[in-house]
Amino acid sequence: MTLRRLDFLLIPLAALALSLAAVQLAYVTEPWVPLAAIAVAAAVAATLARPLAGLYLAIALAPLELFSLTLGGSSSGGAEGGGFGLSPPEAMLLVTGGTWALRRIVNGQLPLVPSPLNKPLVLLLLAVLPGVAIAAEPLFVVKVLVIWTCLFLVYQLVVDEGDAKTVKWLLLTLAVSGAVVGLIATIRTGGGSEISLLGQGETAEGRAEGSFGHPNTLATFEALALPGALALALATRGAVRLMAAAAFVLSFAGVALSLSRGGLLAIAGALAMMAVWRPFRRVALVAALVVVPFAVAGASPLGDVRVVDTVTERISSVEYSAQSNQRLDIWAATPEIIADNPVLGVGIGQFSSVAPRYGLAGAFEETYEHAHNIPLTIAAELGLIGLAALAWLAVALVGLLLRAYRDASGIDRGLVIAIAAALLALTVQGMVDYTLRLNLIVATVMLLAGCAVVLSRPTTTSRGASEATLAREGPPDGPLAYPAAASR
């Protein structure tokens, strides 16, 4: 009896000790430090119990990207930042990847599972490594290497534990995060009332930045989230369908309010890819029947909406900005940087440190942080090794998605097309911009790549069993079950 009473007393005593320790820690540091420590401990515990839960939480924390804890120096995000800035989603991704790897090691397994993307991803990480020795800011290279390694482990987690249902929930979580970010962008710009264009539309003021501090990065994140939201809105039912539909609208609004021409082109490319899927073609046909009469009459189906006119004028400004676009100067000079550093590059995130030597300086002598193009930036910073890894990864992903599309049906086929559409959107925008500087964007790409691997797996036995069950019991129930109209 005495021992039981002592056991019973251990709980309040432990709580008292933790409370005293938290108060003391808050006194010697900052009030938020013990709260953050408790949150990290809870996240680690949850991730140890179920690693995918940590990944869901990391995606859900995307709207908090602007809140960053800086450890030693500045966290501006460029090579000049000597500190280690860590946002809540980045911290959760590090915890998730590290915890999953620790679980594997404790169980006597390597933190590496078979995957067709392992080799190009490992080569990409190896291309980053020489920057520690040759870069002007080696600490930044170390920071990127650590985070990208953990993101690679997160990719391994999705491949190891993910299945078709996991893909649906991951894309739904990403869609909801995109919706929250889009809502933040809409509120901060007053629904678009604070946006204005200068000149012939080539310059814009008051553009939405959402949770990322830059309009183009906002457009990239929303473009990655939007196709999955659209697929789930068309192929699910009940509350999930409503959530996905709302997420699609808010994500689209986020891209529109960013006034990112590359982002708007990316969305156009993503929707064109979604047209491969029959359920979307039906919806697109109905939308066209509504819009075309207004277009013929020279009117807008939304009436006199200022933001629509602003977006239209911004898109049409491409014709004028192409005549004096600074990107053309960057694209012309970057091959010279690559030629001078062909094998290893100048180091990840170091483009701005070498750009002035090649006459690349903007207004007020500000240097450019990247080449405004994914292949050019990767080649300049990681050399031809990094460029080869990027090309290898792209080809492997295309093969995976084609295989998955051929074997999938129903909502799975819609999700395959949505993943392909999201990656196509990144590719389109990546021709005129480079938003991979943000680790959350890299993490989202890794997540989508892992989902592509999961959906491309040969599942002949499970598909046969599912078809037999479907014939015997009828269609599945639940919010992520797909209606008959989406079965082709």
pLDDT one-digit tens code per residue, 110-132: 999 999 999 999 999 999 999 99
Position 103 in a domain: yes
Position 483 in a domain: no
The Cβ of residue 297 has, within 10 Å, a number of other Cβ atoms equal to 8
The Cβ of residue 468 has, within 10 Å, a number of other Cβ atoms equal to 10
- Which residues are 71's β-sheet partners? 84
| Geometric angle at alpha carbon 158, from 155 and 159, rounded to 5° | 90
Position 408 in a domain: yes
365, two tokens: 């002598």
Most confident of 82-96, 244-258, 273-287, 383-397: 383-397
If pLDDT is split at 50, 70 and 90, which confidence band does 293 have? low
Position 183 in a domain: yes
Q: Is residue 471 pLDDT above 90, yes or no?
A: no
Q: What is the mean pLDDT of residues 287-300?
A: 60
Which whole-number Å values give the CA distances from 437 to 58, 66, 67, 78, 290, in the listed order? 18, 14, 17, 8, 40
Position 260 in a domain: yes
Grouping H, G, I as helix, E, B as strand and the rest as coil, residue 273 is helix
Position 19 in a domain: no
Q: Is residue 11 pLDDT above 80, yes or no?
A: no
What is the model's pLDDT at position 361?
Answer: 72
What is the model's pLDDT at position 442?
Answer: 96
Contact 451, 167 (CB under 8 A): yes
Look at residues 290, 257, 252 and name the one whose alpha carbon lies nearest to residue 271.
252
Q: What is the mean pLDDT of residues 433-440?
A: 93
Sign of the CA dihedral running 388, 389, 392, 398 = negative
User: Rounded CA gap, 383 and 397, in Å?
Assistant: 21
205-238 pLDDT, tens digit each: 667 888 888 899 999 999 999 999 999 999 988 9
Q: Is residue 405 pLDDT above 80, yes or no?
A: yes
If pLDDT is split at 50, 70 and 90, which confidence band does 24 have? low
Position 479 in a domain: no
User: Rounded CA gap, 369 and 38, in Å?
Assistant: 36
What is the model's pLDDT at position 482?
Answer: 47
258, two tokens: 């960013």
Residue type, 295: A
Sign of the CA dihedral running 208, 213, 218, 220 = positive
Most confident of 80-89, 259-268, 293-302, 466-475: 259-268
What is the model's pLDDT at position 117?
Answer: 96
What is the model's pLDDT at position 481?
Answer: 54
User: Rounded CA gap, 148 and 144, in Å?
Assistant: 6
> What's the total number of domains in the chain?
1
Q: Is residue 359 pLDDT above 80, yes or no?
A: yes
φ and ψ at residue 205, rounded to 5 degrees:
-120, 150
Which whole-number Å values give the CA distances from 374 to 159, 342, 427, 432, 488, in the listed order? 25, 16, 8, 8, 35
pTM: 0.82
Counting residues of the chain whose pLDDT is more than 70, the rounded percentage is 70
Per the structure, the complete domain to which residue 306 belongs is given by 25-457
Q: What is the mean pLDDT of residues 357-385?
A: 84
What is the model's pLDDT at position 309?
Answer: 56
Position 468 in a domain: no
